[in-house]
Each structure stands twice: as C-alpha cells, then as structure tokens.
Structure 1
Amino acid sequence: MTKQFHGHELPHEALEQLFLEARSYNGWLDKDVSEEQIRHIYDLLKMGPTSANQQSARFVWCKSQDAKDRLAKHASEGNVEKIKTAPVCVIIGYDIDFHEHLPELFPHTDAKSWFEGDVEGRITQAKRNSALQGAYLMLAARALGLDCGPMSGVDLDKVTEDFFADQPQYRADWICSIGYGDKESIFDRSPRPDFEKFNRID
C-alpha cells in the first residue's frame, strides 16, 4: 500500500530559505560542492511533477575546471567569471526524443504513441517540462543550503554543439551556477509586483 503523505505549511524560516531571502548570486565562496550533494539535488528535483512523467531535462554538471572553462568560452562577457569561479555550473538541456523513455517512465499506458511523428510538439513539451525541472533544481539546491545563479547569457547553439555532440536529440536551454554565494556579489533586490498587477481570480 502506498504511504499517504498529507502536507503541512512549512515554517517561515524554510520559506525564507527557498523564496523570500533567496537571491541570485554572481560570486562564490571558495567552498566545494560535492558529488554527493549534486546527486542529492537530482534525487530531489526528479520527484517534481512533469507531464506524463516525461523527465525531459538533461543535465551536465560542470564541476571540473576544464568543463567550466569550456562552458565559459560560450558565455557573454559578464557571465564568464560567474561560471569559472562557481563550484559547479549546470547546463539544463532537454531531449526532443524524451518519448522514447515513456514506456519505462509512464508504463500504465502507451504514452509514447502520443508524441510519435510530432517533432514540433515534442520540442514544446520538452522545453516546458525541462524548464519546470530546472526550477525544481534551484529549489532543491536551496533546500540543501546551497545558493544559485541562473543565467541565459550563453550561446546555446555552441553549448549544445560542445556538450551534446554525441546526443543530437539534446538541446541546451540555460545554465545555473550552484555553490555557496558571496553576499558581496548580489545586487539590491529588484521590485516584485503586487498580486493585483498580474493576477486575477475568476
């Protein structure tokens, strides 16, 4: 029998760590992020929901200096040092052939057939669900006491060519540095809109 878990509201301290006081960091303390921590992040983020359990995100964890230097070559000038000096920088990509894994990941129906012959539809699905998984990655990292520095200022075509050359069905989408953030590197928080500005309840 599946164990039923009924959620409860997290303490305010947890909300501060995940959202209210969390920031996007531009610099990092000289403190390692271990492979064990990386695996723990993944083991948390993979539990977040995706459509038909697609799990369409593909991650490259650039931890060695060589990998970070390679990635930094494809970044805009302002992002080079953010990548090179981070303990780890993750490439968040997506697999346009994610449907090939659905017999294993969504076994109770023939979900693979839903996506066969529709490449554009699969790209839309893969982008949407891998973006969700990237957000789960950031929350997982923050939940484990780490900080994040998400970035889109890279040449994604070159990142794809460099890091996914042997997997032509994969595409890079954005990157995120992870580590212990240097508080001196953050800017003043930008304004956040009130509910009424971008929301309505029908």
Structure 2
Amino acid sequence: MTNPQDDTGHAVLDGAAGDLLFRAARTASTFTDEPVGDEQVRAIHELVKWGPTSMNVQPLRVVLVRTPEARQRLVDQLMPGNKDKTSRAPLVAVLAADHGFDEHLPVVFPNAPWVGALFADQAVRDRTAEFNAGIQVGYFILGVRAVGLAAGPMSGFDADGINREFFPDGRHRVLAVVNIGRPGPDAWRERLPRLAYEQVVTSV
C-alpha cells in the first residue's frame, strides 16, 4: 500500500487522516454527556507510547480525574475561564512529568545498568523529564483525536496548587490539563491564523 502524495510528490497522510489529526481538529470547549471509558483511554495510550523520547525515558504520567471530589479539587485550581467547561467535561486528564522516571530505566534498558548514571544529576533529570513529557503531551492530544474524541488542552491553572493537590510528594509536576470527550454544541471557537512557512523555517 502506498501513501498518497501532495503536489510536490512527497508522501503525506491521506486527506481524512490529515484532517482528523491536524487540519480539521480543534480545541473543544464543550462536550456531550457521552462518557469516556477506560478502554478508550487505553487505546489512546497504545498509540501515544510509540512516540519517541530521549533514550526512551517516557516521563509522561496521566491522572484521570473521575470522582466529583477530585474534579472539584482540580477545578478550584483553574483560571475562571476554564472552570465551567472542566466541570462539565466527560473526562479530565492531568498530564504531569515524572521527575523520578529513572526508576523505570532498568525495565527499558535491562542490559545496560550504566544508563541510570546518566541521570544521577538532579538538574539533568529535571530537564529531561520536563522536555520529554512536554513532547508526549503533544502526542497525547493527537492520540485523543486519533480515537475519534476531542481534546481541550489547557495551561490556565495554578500549577503549584495542582501539584499540592495531586502530587504532594514532589516527584510529579503538572504540565497540562486536558478535557476529553465528544464535542458538544458550539464546541469550536473561530480558528486563529497560523504562522506561514517563511515565518517559521530558516536555513543556515
């Protein structure tokens, strides 16, 4: 099976896949009442886990906020414009960087015990966790779209407050909060312009 090509002759995603993941995909602000089950979240993970990270460290951790009590604790830490839509979303995920990701390196590299020494320095470990989990947040959003759901990622929150509420041991640090579900009425705001190729790409 061959990939379709654009007018430059380069292989690209087919139109439907490109629309689903990128061109037609939008950040959702409203959702239907249809629940999001664990099997759907597992399907997201089974896609997202294949995204590359530095030395396969995989520091992203996902907390599914399902109980009313936990949902309220989260909503209390959000900016006013994010509170109502998060209260109503079928599922909310808190995405965090695990700064103790090196605990799992013996599983990832069972025959290379020296790998752990690369992250013995706390500053190196912190930078690695934040950078790679940040990349994985992008994968997670694409994974949500790929299984036919809409994502509403947010950064408008009190990070220290969320960390106190959900990660009091200090090992995990929140990066994003993502509402997940089927898009509801008036889910999309007007799409804002994107930078052109010439504004983004330079050659040296």
TM-score by length of 1: 0.91
Give the residue type in structure 1 aligned to 2:153.
P
Q: Deviations over 1:95-132 (max 9, x none)?
A: 1121121111133432111010x111111110111011
- Describe the shift of the 1:108–1:12 C-alpha distance in structure 2 as closer, same or farther (beyond 3 A): farther
- Describe the shift of the 1:122–1:12 C-alpha distance in structure 2 as closer, same or farther (beyond 3 A): same
Q: Structure 1 stretches of 5 or more lacking a match?
A: 1-5
Q: Structure 2 stretches of 5 or more lacking a match?
A: 4-11
Give the residue type in structure 2 aligned to 1:155.
D
Size of the aligned set, in residue pairs, is 195
Give the residue type in structure 2 aligned to 1:63.
R
Shift of 1:83: 1.1
Give the residue type in structure 2 aligned to 1:196.
E
Q: Deviations over 1:47-82 (max 9, x none)?
A: 111111111111101123332222101101000012
Q: 1:187 aligned to 2:192?
A: no
Residue among 137, 146, 149 paired with 2:149: 146
**Does the 8 A contact of 1:52 with 1:106 survive in 2?**
no
Q: How does 1:31-50 map to 2 (within 5 A)?
A: 31-50=34-53
Shift of 1:7: 8.2
- CA separation in 2, counterparts of 1:62 and 1:14? 29
Give the residue type in structure 2 aligned to 1:171.
R
Question: Residue 114 of structure 1 aligns with which residue?
Answer: 118
Q: How does 1:33-182 map to 2 (within 5 A)?
A: 33-109=36-112, 110-116=114-120, 118-165=121-168, 167-182=169-184
- CA separation in 1, counterparts of 2:102 and 2:151? 30
Between 145-154 and 39-48, report the one with greater CA deviation: 39-48
- Aligned residues with identical type, % of pairs: 34
Shift of 1:140: 0.8
